[in-house]
């Protein structure tokens, strides 16, 4: 079974440029998450999707960050414009539960390492 796929693995951009990250979850997983991980810290949730609906986006900085999951399968996270402080690893995860159940295991992709110069 293929795991969560993310691309690109690495991205270097200059500040004020736009950037997008793509995630393909495990087949059949209804729930998709985007996390941000700063160096030396644990991941922090940005947004959670149940199918194509964003059900928890309280931590997403909506002035510059946006996300979509149009067909309820793969997802794109965008930053426009990027700032120096956005340099981090962006992780995507998926799970099979439809309501974020307590014992629903999340499977993570390898992440995209973003460097903003």
Partner 1 sequence: DAKTTQPTSMDCAEGRAANLPCNHSTISGNEYVYWYRQIHSQGPQYIIHGLKNNETNEMASLIITEDRKSSTLILPHATLRDTAVYYCIVRVATSGSRLTFGEGTQLTVNP
Binding site for partner 1 (CB under 8 A): 4, 31, 33, 40-45, 48, 55-56, 91, 93, 95, 97, 99-111
Residue nearer to partner 1 on the CB measure, 82 or 91: 91
Q: How far is the CB of 8 from partner 1 (least distance, A)?
A: 14
Q: How far is the CB of 83 from partner 1 (least distance, A)?
A: 23
Residue nearer to partner 1 on the CB measure, 92 or 116: 92
* DSSP state, residue 60: S
Say if residue 18 is exposed, middle or buried (CB neighbours under 10 Å; 0-12, 13-18, 19+): exposed
Residue nearer to partner 1 on the CB measure, 81 or 97: 97
- Please list, residue by residue across 89-103, b when 16 or more beta carbons sit within 10 angstroms of its beta carbon and e when fewer do: bbbbbbbeeeeeeee
Q: How far is the CB of 16 from partner 1 (least distance, A)?
A: 28
Q: How far is the CB of 26 from partner 1 (least distance, A)?
A: 12
Residue nearer to partner 1 on the CB measure, 75 or 111: 111
Phi, psi of 57, rounded to the nearest 5 degrees: -125, 25
Q: Give the Cβ contact number of residue 58 at 10 Å.
A: 9
Q: How far apart are CA 16 and CA 40, in angstroms?
A: 25
């Amino acid at each position: 079974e293929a795991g969560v796929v993310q691309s690109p693995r690495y991205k270097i951009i200059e500040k004020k440029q736009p950037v997008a990250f793509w995630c393909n979850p495990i087949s059949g997983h209804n729930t998709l998450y985007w996390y941000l991980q700063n160096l030396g810290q644990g991941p922090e949730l940005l947004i959670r999707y149940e199918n194509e609906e964003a059900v928890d986006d309280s931590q997403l900085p909506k002035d510059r960050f946006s996300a979509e999951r149009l067909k309820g399968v793969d997802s794109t996270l965008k930053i426009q414009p990027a700032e120096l402080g956005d340099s981090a690893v962006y992780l995507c995860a998926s799970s099979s539960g439809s309501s974020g159940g307590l014992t629903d295991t999340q499977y993570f992709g390898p992440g995209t390492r973003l460097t903003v110069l």
